[in-house]
Amino acid sequence: MKLFEQNINFVSMDNIVEEYQKEEVRAINFSYESIEEIKKIKYKNISIGIAAFSGYISQTRNLYPLIDEKFKLFFNENLRNSILSIIAIENALTLISPSEIYLLNGRFADSRPAWEIALKHNIPFTTIEAIYGISRKYKFKALNFTPHQLEGINLMINQFWDDLSIPLQEKIKIGSSFFERRRNALYAGDKIYTINQLSGFIPQFWDSNKLNVVIFNSSEDEYASLGEEYEKYSIFSTQLEGLKYLKNTFRNNSLINITLRIHPNLSSVKYSYAESLKTLNGDNFYVIEGNSLVSSYSLLDKADVVIVFGSTIGVESVFWGKPTILLAGAQYYFLDACYIPKTREELIDIISLPLKPKDRIAAIKYGYYLMNEKWDSGSFIDFNWEYSKIKILNFNIPVTLINWKKIMGSRTLYFLITGFIRRLKKTFFVIFHIQIEKLVIPKNESN
């Protein structure tokens, strides 16, 4: 705050919410027994349920929590805090009468109310989000949409591509570099999941005489945490349901083999939605686990048809010339890069057709969008950070060094001191057995 205090008037939410309003919120009780009921919870027509659940999934990766008293004690506190945010924002509208609203991310319980209220009152809003660029990390601005709203993303993709100040061949080169970097296990804005896979390694069951359909599923918890924006474009309620449907539909078809490559990001997830994927193996349906050495790109090269539920390898498949079927929402959903069935019956019909690859320019447009430095919001603070290691005794300790977080001009000193303070607090709570139940995240899964 010290960086901005000369130019910004900071107003505490606590100061603009009246005490009687806080008491009223504390007295609110919620009634829900299922995730679907949670998602429908609203306050003054603002979606607090789905926003709070988004934050819960991001912290736990648990899609189907056990909704018991322990869960409700924790979750209801999040719902109440979201309501307090709504009250504070609406009170601020009266006090300040803003001409524009800024917020961060836009999908959690503290920030989603901001843009929903902006829409309600017809106030322009800007969403700020962190971008993991190739050479640096920075912030970008989304005008009147959030970074997870597919129509807004599609609009920005096309705006970047239609920019006549950049020659077409340069755009193609920049856009193509995204896919080339991904294939060669080079950083391209996301964790590198293929770095330990063996190029050219194909499983023994592979039969080139059959139609080979390769399915790359996604980390379902990541997409579930993004909310209804992605769910509404899916023809299956869950990925597991879709996979079982494909397995059962083609189980007696001797002309087809289906291979599921489980996303590597699910390797450490022990919840049932991830563990159940491993049980699908059988008949002509083969499962390759997330931590397998089998190369995803070798599978892609050998595939006749690729099916995805929204993961990035779907648009990569298009770039590398494979006919690709998309079964759920994705940032490239509207680019006409994939075949998108609207019903289950249409899905089966499409698989049975001799499919041709779609125009790879659609994929390149998406790659250009991700690699384009025009995301940069132009903030006067350098938000860049880097991952590094510092040596303490004989240990190399991984650190995150953030440019604008320093003590005595040192990012490393900031990391060490703040890390020590956090550890001290945690130790204090453990020693004195202090536990605040409503702050403890329940992680038990429903049966």
What single-letter amino acid sits at 48? I
Instruction: Give CA–CA dist 135/183, Å, rounded.
Output: 18
- Most confident range, picked from 182-191, 314-323, 413-422: 314-323
| Contact between residue 138 and residue 377 where contact means Cβ atoms under 8 Å apart | yes
In a domain, 2, yes or no: no
- Higher pLDDT among residues 148 and 339, named by residue: 339
Is the same domain home to 400 and 335?
no
What is the model's pLDDT at position 391? Answer: 80
Mean pLDDT (whole number) for 241-261: 96
Is the same domain home to 210 and 358?
yes
pLDDT reading at 375 higher than 80: no
In a domain, 110, yes or no: yes
Instruction: Give CA–CA dist 276/88, Å, rounded.
Output: 43
Rounded to the nearest 10 degrees, the angle between the axes of helix 360-371 and helix 150-161 is: 90
pLDDT reading at 226 higher than 90: no
DSSP string, 312-353: THHHHHHHTT--EEE-S--TTGGGT-SB--SSHHHHHHHHHS
Is the same domain home to 268 and 327?
yes
- Tally of CB atoms within 10 A around 357: 16
Least confident of 57-66, 285-294, 386-395: 386-395
What single-letter amino acid sits at 246? L
In a domain, 7, yes or no: no
In a domain, 406, yes or no: yes
- Pairing of the two strands 42-43 and 46-47: antiparallel
In a domain, 444, yes or no: no
Is the same domain home to 336 and 406?
no
Instruction: Give CA–CA dist 17/88, Å, rounded.
Output: 6
In a domain, 280, yes or no: yes
| Contact between residue 342 and residue 235 where contact means Cβ atoms under 8 Å apart | yes
Domain span at residue 421 reads 385-439
What is the model's pLDDT at position 3? Answer: 74
Instruction: Give CA–CA dist 93/346, Å, rounded.
Output: 48
Q: Give me the sign of the Cα torsion angle 45, 48, 50, 54.
A: positive
Is the same domain home to 285 and 402?
no
Is the same domain home to 306 and 421?
no
Instruction: Give CA–CA dist 108/113, Å, rounded.
Output: 9
Is the same domain home to 119 and 253?
no
Mean pLDDT (whole number) for 288-306: 94
Is the same domain home to 146 and 257?
no
What is the model's pLDDT at position 377? Answer: 64
Is the same domain home to 173 and 153?
no
| pTM of the complete model | 0.90
Instruction: Give me the number of domains the chain comprises.
Output: 3
Residue with tokens 């109440």: 80
Is the same domain home to 44 and 139?
yes
Beta-ladder partners of 285: 258, 282
pLDDT reading at 238 higher than 70: yes
Is the same domain home to 86 and 176?
no
CATH code of the domain covering residue 207: 3.40.50
- Higher pLDDT among residues 360 and 1, named by residue: 360
Of the residues 124, 159, 194, the one at which a domain ends: 159
CA distances from 434 to 59, 430, 431, 439 (A): 21, 7, 8, 11
Exposure of 136 by Cβ count < 10 A (0-12 exposed, 13-18 middle, 19+ buried)? middle
Structure-token pair, residue 398: 């991984």
In a domain, 153, yes or no: yes
Strand blocks (E) in 17-71: 42-43, 46-47
pLDDT reading at 98 higher than 80: yes
Of the residues 105, 140, 159, the one at which a domain ends: 159
Of the residues 353, 373, 393, the one at which a domain ends: 373
pLDDT reading at 279 higher than 70: yes
Is the same domain home to 204 and 326?
yes
